[in-house]
Amino acid sequence: MASYGFDLTTCLIPQDQIVAGGLRKDALQALVDPPVIDGDEITDLNAQLYGKYLVSSDRVIGVEINGESRAYPLLVLNCHEIVNDTLGGVAIAVTYNPLCDSIVVFEREVAGETLEFGVSGLLYNSNLMMFDRRPDAQGESLWSQLLGRAIAGPAAESGRELALVPASVTRWADWLAFHPQTTVLALDPKMFKRYKGTSYENYFLSQELWFEVNPPPPEGELAMKERLLIVEAPDERRVYPLALIAGRADPAGRWTDSLGGVNVEFVCTTDPRTVHVASTSGGNVITRYAMWFAWHAMYPDDKPVQ
C-alpha cells in the first residue's frame, strides 16, 4: 500500500481489507470538465465513425439538475470511472465501478470546498476507492464510492461525507426521448477503440469475484451479482432487485411502491434491463445502483425486498 502514497494513519475500516486493484494511482484517468455535445448530434457522429459511439440500447447514467440534463455513457465510464463535472450550476462527481456495476452521483462541494476526485487504484470490498486531489499530493484522503464517505486521511478524521445526487441508469434512446435537450459526453477520438473494446460482460455473466468481500452474501438469498436499485426517501432506504421490479411491472414496464411516505414509480426496460425511478408525490428520492455482493458487504443489515 505504501507505493500508492496515501496516509492510512486515520483509517476507519480495517487496513487489511484495502487491496490493490492491479492498477497504479491515476492509471485510469478521471475526467475533469469534459467537453459535451447535444444529444441530437449523436446520429451524425455515429455516421462519421468506423463503428458507433452510442446506440439506442447502450446504458447511460442520466442526471438532471436545475433543468439541465446530461447523459454519461457507461462505455466511457468503463475506462475512466469518475467524471468531475458541473451540471445545472452544481459541481458533481459521476462515478461507476464495473467490478460491482455500482453507480453513484455525488455533489463535489464538501465543507465549503469543491473537490476533484481521481481513481486511487485501491479497492475496498471490490469497490472503487476515490481520492481527492491536493497540490503535490499532500493531505489527500481516500473515499469509498458505495459508502459515500471518507475512510482514510484528513477528510476521514473530520468525518466528511458526500451528498448524493439523484441519477438514472437507462438506455440511451429512452433518456433522449424523455430529455430531448440533453447533452452527452463528447467522444475523445483517441479513446474510441478503447471505449468500444473494453467490456465486463463475461465477468457479469459469471459468479466469480476478482476480489474478496467481507462479509460475503448468504447463499441462496440472491445471486451474487444480482443487480440492485437502492432507493432512499427521507425516512427509509429500500433495496430492490431489478428482477423483482421487472416481475411486478405491468405490460408497459411500470410499477409503483411507497417508502418513507413517498410514492415512487419504477419504469423498467429489457435488452438490457434498466430501471428508472421517480417520485410521484412530490418527495425527493435518491438512487444508487450496485450488485448484491458489494452492497451486502457494505451494508450487511440491509435486506432486499421480496
Residue 114 lies in a domain: yes
- Could you say which residues of the chain have pLDDT below 50? none
What is the reported pLDDT for 147?
A: 98
Residue 240 lies in a domain: yes
Please say which residue of 185, 209, 237 terminates a domain: 185
- Same domain assignment for residues 114 and 262: no
Residue 159 lies in a domain: yes
- Same domain assignment for residues 45 and 161: yes
- Same domain assignment for residues 141 and 23: yes
- Same domain assignment for residues 162 and 29: yes
Sheet holding 127-132, edge to edge: 18-20, 117-124, 127-132, 142-144, 149-152
- Same domain assignment for residues 41 and 159: yes
Q: Cell for 259?
A: 417508502
Residue 212 lies in a domain: no
- Same domain assignment for residues 281 and 141: no
What is the reported pLDDT for 86?
A: 98
Domain assignment of residue 244, given as a range: 223-306
What is the reported pLDDT for 2?
A: 61
- Same domain assignment for residues 153 and 296: no
- Same domain assignment for residues 228 and 278: yes
Please say which residue of 159, 185, 211 terminates a domain: 185
Q: Cell for 34?
A: 469534459
Structural domains of the chain, count: 2
Please say which residue of 139, 167, 185 terminates a domain: 185
What is the reported pLDDT for 159?
A: 97
Residue 200 lies in a domain: no
- Same domain assignment for residues 240 and 173: no
pLDDT tens-digit map of 121-152: 999 999 999 999 999 889 999 999 999 999 99
- Give the C-alpha separation, 1 to 170, whole Å: 37
Residue 236 lies in a domain: yes
Residue 217 lies in a domain: no
pLDDT tens-digit map of 173-212: 999 999 999 999 998 888 988 988 898 999 999 989 999 9
What is the reported pLDDT for 260?
A: 82
- Same domain assignment for residues 104 and 157: yes
- Same domain assignment for residues 116 and 61: yes
Residue 107 lies in a domain: yes
What is the reported pLDDT for 83?
A: 98
